């Protein structure tokens, strides 16, 4: 049996191990599956969010058109104030949606970093020269560290490398950067 990911070379599989079977190869395959799944999820999410963003842009243009037409109504008609108030309410709700889009953008950036990091990790693990080379692991960690843009992510990364569990690292990040999620969003 051949594996397309292995360049059409026959290889042993976990369900049929032989002398060629390798836990390292199995680890790399699982990392590659994770990278592919994250990529698919990101692509699906990006398409949905882009569709929503386009719809909100169209709605905002419609609200602005309504506001322009309302401005042409006589002030005494009473309709003008109601229309303008409704437009302001819709605009406020749209602003809330923009914040949600920004949270998605942050999530998307984190997933992109994760995808790259997992792919690089697979590269280190599948290469015997790099797998057993502490300098290669240090270079991988330095590269991952250099990509973090959020202070909360940097704190979490350093805590885990220092030996903290995932739960402990998350607690440390939340204690060091309280309200992180809200403060990282820029309103426009």
Phi, psi (deg, nearest 5) at residue 129: -65, -35
Q: Is residue 145 scored above 90 in pLDDT?
A: yes
Measured between alpha carbons, how far is 143 from 95 in angstroms, rounded to an integer? Answer: 36
**Closest by Cα among 115, 169, 170 to 144:** 115
Give the count of beta carbons closer than 10 Å to the beta carbon of residue 1: 7
Q: What is the pTM of this model?
A: 0.65
Nearest to 59 by CA among 31, 81, 87, 36: 87
CB 106 within 8 A of CB 49: no
- Percent composition of the chain: helix, strand, coil (DSSP 3-state, to 5): 80, 5, 20
Is pLDDT of 101 > 90?
A: no
Query: Alpha-carbon distance 182 to 103, whole Å?
Result: 9
> Could you read off the pLDDT of 37-47 as tens digits, one per residue?
888 888 888 88
In degrees, rounded to 5, the angle at the alpha carbon of residue 42 between the alpha carbons of residues 170 and 99 is 65
CA distance 64 to 71: 11
Rg (CA), the chain: 25
pLDDT greater than 60 at residue 8: no
Q: Which of 50, 151, 64, 60 is nearest to 101 (CA)?
A: 50
Those residues with Cβ within 8 angstroms of residue 142's Cβ, 6 or more apart along the chain or in another chain = none
Give the tens place of pLDDT for each residue, 34-90. 888 888 888 888 888 888 888 888 888 898 899 888 888 887 777 888 888 899 899
């Amino acid at each position: 049996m051949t594996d397309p990911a292995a360049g059409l070379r026959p290889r042993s599989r976990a369900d049929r191990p032989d002398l060629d079977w390798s836990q390292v190869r199995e680890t790399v395959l699982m990392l590659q599956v994770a990278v592919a799944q994250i990529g698919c999820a990101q692509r699906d999410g990006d398409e949905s969010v882009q569709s929503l963003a386009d719809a909100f842009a169209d709605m905002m243009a419609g609200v602005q058109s309504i506001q322009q037409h309302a401005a042409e109504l006589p002030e005494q008609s009473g309709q003008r104030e109601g229309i303008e108030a409704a437009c302001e309410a819709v605009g406020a709700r749209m602003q809330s949606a923009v914040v949600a889009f920004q949270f998605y953008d942050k999530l998307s950036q984190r997933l992109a970093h994760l995808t790259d990091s997992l792919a690089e990790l697979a590269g280190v693990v599948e290469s015997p020269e790099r797998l057993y080379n502490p300098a290669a692991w240090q270079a991988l960690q330095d590269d991952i560290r250099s990509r973090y843009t959020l202070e909360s992510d940097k704190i979490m990364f350093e805590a885990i490398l220092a030996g903290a569990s995932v739960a402990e690292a998350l607690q440390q990040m939340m204690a060091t950067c309280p309200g992180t999620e809200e403060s990282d969003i820029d309103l426009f």
